[in-house]
Structure 1
Amino acid sequence: MTAPRMLLRGLMAAALVLPLALAGCGGDDDSSAGGKTELTFFWWGGEARAKLTQQALDLYTSKHPDVTFKTTWQANQGYFDKLATLTAGSDAPDIFQIDDNYLAEYATRNVTEDLTKYKDSGKLDVTKFPESLWKYGVVNDKLAGLAFGENTQGLVFNKTKLEAAKQELPKTGMSWGDLITWAQKAGTATKIPGTMDPSADYKAFWVWLRQNGKQFYNGSQLGFTKDDVQKWFELWKGARDAKATPTADVIHEGNATDITKQTVVTGKALTSWVWANQMPDIQKNTKDELGVVAYPGDPSAQWARASMYFSVYRGGKHKDAAVDVINFLANDPEAGKILGTDRGLPSNLDIRTQVAATTTDPAMKASIALEDELLKKFGPSPSVPPKGHSKVKTELIKAAEAAQFATLTPDKAAEQFFSAAQAAVSG
């Protein structure tokens, strides 16, 4: 989902002028032909998401007949190219979906409306949200987006195969070393490598850093050193040497974000390192029963991460109306029932309880149960990743795979990644 760097910069620079000019025109202008307000709404996703979103918007219109919607959606690929084009021109959407790869980038270029005043006045109600979740939408002291789903890191494991081999199941709170020892033993018993190697996975590295008193980012700078990366790569070299993980070619397959490529789905490892809300989709792709626990180590290193946000265009003419819509989608029980967990576990905890009580999907119940368990243990949210984050993620995969295939030592791979990551966030 990464937009080409040069395209994004050029288009976003152009977008800077338009929002500032329009924002200087004063407050909302909700006058439209025939007394109607038409809001444009843009998101990514598949047909199922489009259908559910349209149903929720139709519900809003039934309760607010003067507000209608012009909706546009598309698949993930190319979405941010299109969004950059729209925000640079006169056709920018009033409401758009965004994630933490780009929220800071758009916010610092004044594309997103600061929602703080709406939150403070109660027009945007976050009182039922975990505090760390809505705060994960703050960029430079401005609320740039409303978190529209909660997520956290989840270690998904093959319960069927482990129980058949009479092996202990992984548990929340086990150390990283214990997890690798467990994976080695379970792999021997099942003849399947115990765990996917997550050294290329930024979210696993991020949790490990927080458990070691570091952050992935400190503001717009890296929060770790080259030595931290080397220790991380060496940890997983040891796991590979101990045959606790698959071979490098299989790890490469598992590094893909496609659900169908996850090693717990392909049967090439007993665990996969994913976002917890992916559990239901992963379960649909295997006949074996799966389970999910937190990542190894102290679970307080995990946090309530926004699976995605809705942001309001700063240069739009109908900002008050747009805010009312996203408030409705997040907090109205009927809308919550329609939208379910398509964009992650509902941010509103009351809506989440409602969804959990009505779902018949065991994998969804497991995902919600993990999130509810960790909600009591979550640490404070980190700052939203700065611009360059997508490039940093790509460079981590590149360097980790060099170590996995042994074309570089952990030391040299760490040096490569750290240098490239510094350039990405400062460029």
Structure 2
Amino acid sequence: MHPATTPTAGPPPGPSHRTPRRRLLRGLLAAVVAAPLVLGAAACGDDEAPSSDPNAPVKLSIFWWGGEARAKLTEEALALYTKKHPNVTFEKTWQANQGYFDKLATLTAGGNPPDIFQIDDNYLSEYAGRNTTLDLTKYKDDGDLDVSKFPESLWQYGVVDGKLAGMAAGENTQGLVYNKTLLQKNGLPEPTTGQSWEEHIAWAEQVAKKTKLGTQDPSADYKAFWVWLRQQGKDLYNGSDLGFTVEDVTKWFELWKGARDRRATPTPDVIHEGNATDITKQLVVTGKAATSWVWVNQMPELKKNTKDELGVIAYPGDPSAQWARASMYWSVFRGSKHKDVAVDVLNFLANDPEAVKILGTDRGLPSNLDLRKQVSDAVSDPAMKQSIQVESDLAQKFGAAPQVPIKGHSKVRSELTKAAENAQYGRATPAEAAKQFVDACKSAIA
């Protein structure tokens, strides 16, 4: 872990943290009646009781994952908050993605979670279900957490069981990346948004006949399966249960068995390489397929690994099955002694022009559409410009957000890979692999 030093607060020259009247009233009430804390413990950081004085010193603990570049940008944005609110300082901790949720679980189980923490859709339902996350709904309704400039499906993708459990730190969506150089060199057409899955496979068959490179088989990719389900009027989850049946999965696996039989995809061994989550191993950049199924904001990382020009479009089928997905969220610990200030920090990170400019596109496209345009205009990386353009185009077509994945989602994802590879290698028929997958999913979410 890489704890950062806490900024030194300068002497406030007068009222520095301008607290909205309704939040000040909540603070006054909290000073009189101490609300019971989740897990019976205070968040780490400042252990002082809430004060009715808006200029009283406040120290918030904040925890996120990411590399050094993200840490630098986040610390700079938090330092700006302290500059504008000198009574508020931060105890900052960050680490790489691997092991992050183990650490967060340990802190939570010990009754000492951070006031503010980064989380993603693999775990948001789980933490909301434990009453660890603060319900942000009243702050949204009061305007203290302003999501009026967010795409509606973006902020809605943070709602769990009717409670707003997390604020989108950025937006992302699914993208089909293809090798534009390869196609142009061979006089082949580029794929287009709106083609059906069958049309995509026919296109890939045509490409493979001329280049021996078809489309990566995405039958193991939960993103592709999820979008395809939504196009069939289904979903990945329905309440606390699965939103699909064995028959649905069988149709999905059969679709891609047909593509493999037509040699529109690579061989199973190569498909397996593409199933790796490492972006550097995606087949579109290793030269083993003409496409890869990724998140749109991964375009810059893909481009670093190839000299070829890449294009990106929506997944096949009706693009309204895609939605403005939160690339990750900021959540507030329900038992924080300074929850109102913590929410104000979230609002600042999403809606302060200077803060949004600092954070840029590191966590996905800015959630605030007005500020997103300002950030987009300043982007110089061509690959990131492509990402922004395709998401801006798709924003007009996005459908409603699905429910946030339920507990066991990570296991569901890994079981899809296992079942799909059984079908890809011929170790099981599509129907057999589908049954294996659904049985494993039911066990995972039980």
Structure-to-structure mapping, 1:13-412, within 5 angstroms: 19=38, 21=40, 29-30=50-51, 35-191=56-212, 193-412=213-432
Deviations 1:350-380 (A, max 9, x none): 1110111011111111111111111111111
Query: What's the secondary structure of 2:50's corresponding residue?
Result: coil
Query: What's the secondary structure of 1:307's corresponding residue?
Result: strand
Q: Distance in 2 between matches of 1:346 and 1:187?
A: 38
Q: Which amino acid aligns with 2:242?
A: L
Once the two structures are TM-superposed, the CA of residue 28 in structure 1 deviates from its matched residue by: 7.6
- The CA RMSD over aligned residues, in Å, is 1.6
Q: Distance in 1 between matches of 2:355 and 2:180?
A: 34
What residue ranges of structure 2 are gaps of 5+ in the alignment? 1-35, 43-47
Contact 1:256 1:262 in 2 (8 A): yes
Query: What's the secondary structure of 1:308's corresponding residue?
Result: strand
Q: Which amino acid aligns with 1:155?
A: L
Cα distance change on mapping 1:293 and 1:374 into 2, 3 Å: same
Contact 1:216 1:224 in 2 (8 A): yes
Q: Distance in 2 between matches of 1:396 and 1:371?
A: 27
Q: Which amino acid aligns with 2:122?
A: N
Once the two structures are TM-superposed, the CA of residue 31 in structure 1 deviates from its matched residue by: 8.2
Once the two structures are TM-superposed, the CA of residue 188 in structure 1 deviates from its matched residue by: 1.8
Cα distance change on mapping 1:157 and 1:205 into 2, 3 Å: same
Contact 2:37 2:334 in 1 (8 A): no
Larger gyration radius, structure 1 or structure 2: 2
Query: What's the secondary structure of 2:70's corresponding residue?
Result: helix
Query: What's the secondary structure of 2:182's corresponding residue?
Result: helix
Match of 2:8 in 1: none
Match of 1:3 in 2: none
Give identity over the alignment, percent: 70
Once the two structures are TM-superposed, the CA of residue 151 in structure 1 deviates from its matched residue by: 0.9
Contact 1:43 1:72 in 2 (8 A): yes
Q: Distance in 2 between matches of 1:240 and 1:318?
A: 56
Q: Distance in 2 between matches of 1:182 and 1:201?
A: 20
Cα distance change on mapping 1:69 and 1:31 into 2, 3 Å: farther
Deviations 1:272-323 (A, max 9, x none): 0001111111111111111100000000111111100000001111111110
Contact 2:178 2:291 in 1 (8 A): yes
Query: What's the secondary structure of 1:235's corresponding residue?
Result: helix
Q: Which amino acid aligns with 2:163?
A: K
* TM-score between the two structures when normalised by the length of structure 2: 0.89
Contact 2:40 2:111 in 1 (8 A): no
Deviations 1:373-414 (A, max 9, x none): 111111110110111111100100000011111111111100
Query: What's the secondary structure of 1:324's corresponding residue?
Result: helix
Contact 1:22 1:316 in 2 (8 A): no
* TM-score between the two structures when normalised by the length of structure 1: 0.92
Q: Which amino acid aligns with 1:178?
A: E
Q: Distance in 2 between matches of 1:84 and 1:19?
A: 14
Match of 1:5 in 2: none
Q: Distance in 1 between matches of 2:239 and 2:297?
A: 27
Once the two structures are TM-superposed, the CA of residue 187 in structure 1 deviates from its matched residue by: 1.6
Deviations 1:51-80 (A, max 9, x none): 110111111111111111111111111110
Moved over 4 A (4+): none
- Structure number having the greater helix percentage: 1
Deviations 1:177-210 (A, max 9, x none): 010010111122223x221100000110011111
Query: What's the secondary structure of 1:149's corresponding residue?
Result: strand
Query: What's the secondary structure of 2:434's corresponding residue?
Result: helix
Match of 1:12 in 2: none
Number of residue pairs matched? 405
